[in-house]
Structure 1
């Protein structure tokens, strides 16, 4: 990887992007679908969405915008799902970062741009995939889709104790590290400024060399664009798609089922479905 100071957007550097319209190498997409669905109550990637497994939808969209696809699946089962011709399967790891690295190992070394998406965002259109890829060709090191915040986002803490003395006060507060449990007593902290924050979706696109370098140390991270940004890379945010919801719970899957018809009618309906129409180039 280039030194941080040499990267566009690094310390002391301009955020003006160099022209990279001739990025060498094909575009490959890694579809992360190796989770066990702990919060959902089962491997949601194999639950039905419009007559197909959830997983089939990001694969179909990616096929319309990629030269090759790797799908990262659980070691235990793929529940009878057969990938379209030309799509590679590999087994995921215990963490998201390990699954990304498993996918990277299956992507050819000559790939110039790598897109990472997940089965939990099944309604992203092929146009959104192309949009983040185009940003890499225009000079970005990474590109992610984001939506403006429309609600107030508060920092919260779980109260270890509550006492009423001149008002409600919190004692022994701790920050939640995951689920906060049933009916917790929450204390509100600071509000995030909506103008300077975005809700980030997938797919994410990357310069292949920088993404591989970011994972070379086998470190853990919640998502990959943060790793590239920490290394000094320029991460561009493009407009996201409101219907591209994150399916984490059964209620959100029900919502995705309602949105699917809208997405297909308003988006590029001919590019959706099982992917049988679009062969990997």
Structure 2
């Protein structure tokens, strides 16, 4: 089965303070590193870039949209006709190992509609509510409902999909936080494979510093 990767790198980096996909980690930009790793497990890679940007690296290039879902659809449109499985990731997960890509791809080869890595939560999750006392230094908000950690995972990237199933999901659902939720909403079987503690999600300069510290471990 032909497997292609789509690397989402079309964001504006608001939380990071700039285009984080071009930030450097271990002598490579985040984007270069992710594309290199994805290419080890995929037959080809589509890179989705911000409008007006070009990238001299390898891979087919597409222009992202104003939402995440639009950027995914731009990447899907650039895939070759013989692609059967798509592995979607982003430049914000530069430490995901080749083994992690292989895990999600293998699960879809085995019949799942989608597969994602999950890292079991060990702390209870609190929902944040608006704090009527505004401007208090260091306060994120009021503590709301508590979700026990047991039985929940933090969803990571990359995620793999049966391509026809993912296309149908995008035809019927305009937008979502992430693609596996779209597939699940249509009744698709979405499985979770073991994630990696070192697979840090880089959204801020501080998290890039964490990724730099973890680099020797991956």
Same fold flag (TM > 0.5)? yes
Check the 8 A contact 1:158/1:184 in 2, yes or no.
Answer: no
The match for 1:48 among 24, 29, 34 is 24
Given that residues 173 and 182 in structure 2 are in contact (C-alpha distance below 8 angstroms), is that contact kept between their aligned partners in structure 1? no
Q: CA deviation at 1:109?
A: 2.3
SS for the counterpart of 1:55 is: helix
Q: What residue is the counterpart of 2:213 in the other structure? A: 258
RMSD of aligned alpha carbons: 1.8
Structure 1 residue runs without a partner (length 5+): 1-24, 163-179, 264-281
2:80 corresponds to 1:108: yes
What is the distance in 1 between the residues matched to 2:100 and 2:18? 28
Evaluate the alpha carbon distance shift between residue 104 and residue 136 of structure 1 in structure 2; reply closer, same or farther with a 3 A threshold. Answer: same
2:108 counterpart (130, 133, 136): 136
Structure 1 position 231 matched with structure 2 position 186: yes
More helix by share: 2
| 140 and 151 in structure 1: CA distance in 2 versus 1, 3 angstrom threshold | same
Q: TM-score, normalising length from structure 1?
A: 0.74
Q: How far did 1:160 drift? A: 2.4
Instruction: State the match for 1:197 in structure 2.
Output: 152
Tell me how far apart the structure 2 counterparts of residues 128 and 109 of structure 1 sit (CA, whole Å): 25
Q: 1:181 to 1:112 in 2, by over 3 A?
A: farther
**Do structure 1's residue 120 and structure 2's residue 92 form an aligned pair?**
yes
CA distance, structure 2, for counterparts of residue 181 and residue 211 of structure 1: 44
Distance 1:187 1:61, change over 3 A: same
SS in 2 for 1:29: strand
Q: Report deviation, 1:190.
A: 2.0
Aligned-partner Cα distance in 2 for 1:153–1:218: 28
CA distance, structure 2, for counterparts of residue 235 and residue 152 of structure 1: 24
Contact 1:29/1:62 (8 A) holds in 2 = yes
Task: Report the CA distance between 1:57 and its aligned residue.
Answer: 1.2
The 1-side partners of 2:52 and 2:191 are apart by: 36
- Distance 1:261-1:229 versus aligned 2 partners, 3 A rule: same
Q: Aligned to 1:257, what secondary structure does the other structure show?
A: helix
Instruction: With a CA cutoff of 8 Å and minimum separation of 6, indicate the structure with the bigger relative contact order.
Output: 1
- Matched residue pairs, number? 218
Q: Distance between the aligned counterparts of 1:88 and 1:117, measured in 2?
A: 15
Q: Distance in 2 between matches of 1:255 and 1:219?
A: 34
SS at match of 2:65: coil
Question: How far apart in 2 are the matches of 1:126 and 1:159?
Answer: 43
Which SS does the other structure have where 1:216 is aligned?
A: helix
Match of 1:68 in 2: 44
1:28–1:115 contact (8 Å) kept in structure 2:
yes
Please list every run of 5 or more consecutive structure 2 residues that lacks an aligned counterpart in the other structure: none
Q: For the residues of structure 1 that align with 2:136 and 2:24, how far apart are their CA atoms? A: 28
Q: Considering only CA atoms, is the larger Rg found in Structure 1 or Structure 2?
A: 1
